[in-house]
Each structure stands twice: as C-alpha cells, then as structure tokens.
Amino acid sequence: MSNLVETLAAELERPRELSDRIVNYVSGHYGIDYDAVGAFLVNELPKLEDDEIDLILSPTFTPKLADQAIFAELLGADSSPQEEWPSLIRQLAARPTQAQLITADGHRHSVRLQEVTIERYVYRLRLDGTIAESVFKLIDRMPSSDRPTLKAIARRAVWTAEGVRAILDRYLAKASDAGGYSLSDALDLLNLVEGRKPVGVDDLLSKIPKWMESLREQIDSGGGPSPFFNEDVRNMHGGDRDQRTQNETRMSAKEREFEFLGRLAKILA
C-alpha cells in the first residue's frame, strides 16, 4: 500500500502543462487576466465547489493508458480493490499532494489537490484490474519496454469475458511465435475490441473481411471518417504536431488500419 501511495503522489505531483482550453475557461468564466490564472488556481481553486474544481482540472487529471501502464507495472498480477481507494484518496489529500501546474508563460504553480481531483485520477487507473495468468505469462515473453503498456491493456475491463479474453490470449501467443508482434498493433487491437465489441475470436475473424472491404472503398474514394484508428497510435506518430494535411493524415490512418486488420486476420487464423 505504501508503494502505491508514493507512486500515486509522484504521478499526481509531476509537472503538467495547462491546456489553452483550461486557461481560456478560467479567464473567461471567472473574469481574470490570462497572466493571473496561475495565482487564481493557487489561491482560489481550493475554495471552489467540487464540481467547479472537477470541471477545471478534469482534462489534466484524467489518466490515459500511459498513466495506467505505470500502475499496471507496479501492481503486476496484483490489484487494489475499490474498497481501498477511499483510504488512498484521503491519505493523498492529507499529505498534502501538490500539483505542479505550468501556465503558458512557463511558470510553475503549486496547487493543493482536493479529494475530488485525486478521486478522478485514482478511480480511472484500473487499479482493481486483473490479468489472466495465461496472458501474464505471454506478456513476459514480449520486449521489456512494452510490458507496462501491455499489462495496462490486459487490465482493461473489455477482456473480462472469457471469449473476448481469448482474442488477446491468441494474439499475444501467435504474434510472438510468428514474429508479427508490435505494440502499435496491440494498441489497435484494444481500440478495435473496445469499439466494435466482438464476442470472441471467431466473431472477430468473421467481421474483419467486411471492415477491410469498407476501408478499401474509403481509401479508393478518399472520403469518410476513420473507424478504428487509435488515439494512442496517432500520438505515437506525432499527434497534433503532425504537419500533414487532414486528408493526408486521414488516408494514411485508413491505410494503416487496413494493413493492421490484414495482419490481425493472419495472426488469429
């Protein structure tokens, strides 16, 4: 428990840049100058109602898969049940836990986090997630640098059903044996299963040809939104810093999706 609390505190206190959206909201809603936003967060934020605090800080303290990976690696095959979380949150609030928020001018502001923000972060980390023993052993065969993220993927709620979990089990086993594994494909698999909700391997394999056909039509026509592309993968390719045109980016995403589905079908077959 002490290691978990210390890791939570360290992650909550790591420097975080405030987005323009947050700064604009605080400035406009509370009628303060942009250069006074930092001081407002330090001095006035703790006085606000919980729903106001959550509205301001939720974009900054909603954990992503990368955050979940840190705790998936820490916990390994263990988990922290929800009954323990209120105690964790109280401990972190009482320390106190000080967020380090960076405004556009580069200045860092130390803001005491209230329970509502800590609760948002803790409750979205999948601390109560579990990893099937067979999947855990397969992850240990993968590159060490990928294992934290793979453990975070494996702890997601979507794999709870046995049939769905068999998709991940088979992918990891066969991709490793065939040399066709990649972390970006594992991320796309998570995105695909969470979004399209196949009930098992056979169901997924039966649907892939239709999805590939639809993608091929969109690629050939140059239109239509991308149905599968994972935000984590987009960030790996530069995210908002990507300087290509929107259409080029969209078509490149579709082509990668098409290729991914082809690889996935061969691996799972």
pLDDT for the residue numbered 253: 84
Helix (H) or strand (E) holding 102: strand 98-102
Q: Confirm whether 74 is domain-assigned.
A: yes
- 157 to 72, 101, 164, 205, 212: CA distances (angstroms): 13, 31, 10, 21, 26
Which of 97, 123, 149 terminates a domain? The answer is: 123
Surface-to-core class of residue 242, CB atoms within 10 Å of its CB (0-12 exposed, 13-18 middle, 19+ buried): middle
Q: Are residues 205 and 182 in the same domain?
A: yes
pLDDT reading at 47 higher than 60: yes
Q: Are residues 148 and 254 in the same domain?
A: yes
Task: Decide: 55 and 93 in contact? Cβ < 8 Å.
Answer: no
Q: What would the pLDDT profile of 163-206 be if each residue is shown by its tens digit?
A: 999 999 999 999 987 778 899 999 999 999 999 999 999 999 99
Q: Are residues 137 and 62 in the same domain?
A: no
pLDDT for the residue numbered 2: 80
Q: Are residues 147 and 105 in the same domain?
A: no
- CB burial string 19-51: b at 16+ within 10 A, e below: eeebbeebbeeeeeeeeebbebbbeebeebeee
Into how many domains does the chain fold?
2
pTM of the predicted protein model: 0.84
Indicate the pLDDT class of residue 214, thresholds 50, 70 and 90. very high
Q: Are residues 86 and 160 in the same domain?
A: no
Q: Are residues 139 and 226 in the same domain?
A: yes
> Count H helices, E strands: the chain?
14, 3
More confident residue, 85 or 226: 85
pLDDT for the residue numbered 39: 94
pLDDT for the residue numbered 18: 94
Q: Are residues 114 and 168 in the same domain?
A: no
Q: Are residues 137 and 264 in the same domain?
A: yes
Q: Are residues 78 and 47 in the same domain?
A: yes
Q: Are residues 161 and 259 in the same domain?
A: yes
Peptide bond into 96 cis (omega under 30): yes
Which of 123, 145, 161 terminates a domain? The answer is: 123
Average confidence score pLDDT of the chain: 89
Q: Are residues 76 and 203 in the same domain?
A: no
Q: Confirm whether 128 is domain-assigned.
A: no
Distance CA 238, CA 174 (A): 30
In the chain, % of residues over pLDDT 70: 89
pLDDT for the residue numbered 221: 82
Q: Confirm whether 233 is domain-assigned.
A: yes
Q: Confirm whether 116 is domain-assigned.
A: yes
Residue 90: CB partners within 8 Å, gap ≥ 6? 115
Q: Are residues 137 and 258 in the same domain?
A: yes
Q: Which residue has the tokens 């690629």?
A: 219
pLDDT reading at 162 higher than 50: yes
Domain that holds residue 7: 2-123
Distance CA 213, CA 231 (A): 22
pLDDT for the residue numbered 180: 81
